[in-house]
Amino acid sequence: MFRVAVIDDYQGPAAALDCWQQLSEQAEVSFFPDHLTDPAALVERLQEFDAVIATRERTPFPAALLERLPKLRLLITTGMANAAIDVAAARSLGITVCGTAMLPHPAAELTWALILELAKHTGAEQDALRAGRWQSTVGLDLAGATLGVVGLGRLGRRVAAVGAAFGMNVLAWSQNLTPEQGAEAGVEAVSKEDLFRRSDYVSIHLRYSERTRSVVGEAELRLMKPSAYLVNTSRSPIVDMDALLTALHGGWIAGAGLDVHPVEPIPASDPILRAPNTVLTPHIGYATRGNFELSYSDAVECVGAFLAGRPVRVL
């Protein structure tokens, strides 16, 4: 029987889906809700499986790990891009790597949850209210404020559209963004320096690659207003975290909302947990019921197609 491992199913949403029944006569599917960081433990767990379904980038698959999994024939990632998988190494080892569709809106929606919490302090006010304190903070107005969108792809455009609906002035920058493309999206295309200098909220929506590593560093953070906020729901390495910690503790910026972190799950020793004026979430931007239903249904299709000798969505 073809053996399939579904890993990092933290809260069990994958195991709860009905789509796996389609594989009942072709494959044996096992679900693992815990996260393993030790390579030896990971090899021990996965060495007898023919296929692995990885949830986004929760577990990296570098060449050194793939070489220790000789039975592995199929590696599926939720999403059509995964910087944590060495796709070239997989190909050289004869491992087929496939991806799935993902919904475009969940991460954009979480971006606004973070921005609204930074501006309105609803979580902090609820905690204070339950502790017996009435009106502990003063909120900020979004209407008339300036939103800077770093990366105007499908997620950035959604975030920009919501900002415009709030009555915000919306700026955008990415390496290849033209004024015409900005105008088409209803935003003002500006230089990176201008965006960081003028924005009250800077939201990052770039795809991670070596080209975008540390795109936001000390120089960009020093340009920001002391009253401005940085929001990152994309990938942690896009922001220089040492520079961000310095900016937060030094009061260069007013605060930050982060859904992505250098090490996930985030360890108790991570200094961001003790940084002031932060709203932190555990990489839940993509973790919605609709996304899991779509991506794991696609993963089932990928397994079936591979077993039929016609792989689909190959990366």
Cβ atoms within 10 A of the Cβ of 314, count?
A: 13
**Can 264 be counted among the known catalytic residues?**
yes
Are 187 and 149 contacting, i.e. CB atoms less than 8 angstroms apart?
A: yes
Give the gyration radius of the chain's Cα atoms. Answer: 21
Q: Give the whole-angstrom CA distance, residue 293 versus residue 310.
A: 23
What is the dihedral sign for C-alpha 84, 89, 95, 96? positive
Question: Would residue 283 show up in a list of annotated catalytic residues for this protein?
Answer: yes
User: Please, which residues bridge with residue 256 across strands?
Assistant: 230, 278
CA distance 27 to 73: 13
Q: Is residue 235 annotated as a catalytic residue, yes or no? A: yes
CB-count exposure of residue 161 (10 Å: 0-12, 13-18, 19+): middle
Residue with tokens 């591979």: 306
Neighbouring C-beta atoms of residue 312, cutoff 10 Å: 14
CA 130 – CA 20 distance, rounded (Å): 43
Q: Which of 117, 188, 220, 264 is catalytic?
A: 264
- List the catalytic residue out of 157, 198, 205, 283: 283
Cα separation, 87 vs 65, in Å, equals 12
Within 13 Å and on the Cβ side, how many CA atoms surround 158?
A: 13
| Catalytic annotation, pick one of 121, 158, 235, 261 | 235
- State the catalytic residues: 235, 264, 283
